Structure 1
Amino acid sequence: MSGTLNRPIRVLVAKVGLDGHDRGAKVIATSLRDAGMEVIYTGLRQTPEMVVNTALQEDVDAIGISILSGAHMTVFPKIIALMKQKQLTDVLLTGGGIIPPGDIQKLREIGVGELFAPGTTMLTIINYIRDWTIENRNF
């Protein structure tokens, strides 16, 4: 493996549910775009079904969910189940927001990737998505 891709990494950034705070998601989307990734930002009030269907239509490498509402233990498992149902098992599901460490561990156990707390550097997030994609989606 060469450590690079011959195409831009495609990332879907979404806000699920009634969480109306999207500044962080927009900062993430802009930073990923500035790092050379193709970013699809879905906007506010998406359902898990909308997110997974968009990911399928856009042929993304990764889905990033920004969540501050406390609904992470509902949202992430629902998205993982839909991804499995739609055979998106080679797409990274990652995200960030206000998620207690114990919940992060439970979500990791069901197949969610790294989850980032407020204050995580953009470089950490960019490198994680880039490294995961190169390792798992370099085709």
Structure 2
Amino acid sequence: MAEKFHVHVVSHTHWDREWYLPFQQYRHRLVDMIDNLLKLLEEKPSFNYFVLDGQTVVLEDYLEIRPENQKRLKREIRRKRLFIGPWYILPDEFLVSGESLVRNLLRGHQIAGAFGHIMKIGYLPDSFGHINQLPQVLNGFGLD
């Protein structure tokens, strides 16, 4: 008999603020994506959760355009249907100092905490490798 597998699908985005397009063109896409995401989370209880790329700067970028949606975002974050943090921005670990990584995590935790929940996973989806001290840095913030 064939072995059974459990498959877990994690809905998420990877968000580059600036890559091959200017920031404002990316922000336009971000606003559309989060508007649609909020609608989906509110209208489809069966859509369990969404990971917002491990960085909290996305919330600042969105709320500069849609400040009226802050309560909606907080509600979904507190319900643990929208996961944010632990970073402020996703770092390129080889281009910054250890102090910079710690301060980045500290700022991300402050913002995520103010929204009601900090994702306690060392989420780094677009890293070009990891520094050898990363486990120690993540452990210092209680991150898996």
Interval of TM-score (by shorter of Structure 1 and Structure 2): 0.3 to 0.5
TM-score of the superposition, structure 2-length normalised? 0.39
TM-score of the superposition, structure 1-length normalised? 0.40
Question: Going by fraction, where is strand more abundant, 1 or 2?
Answer: 1
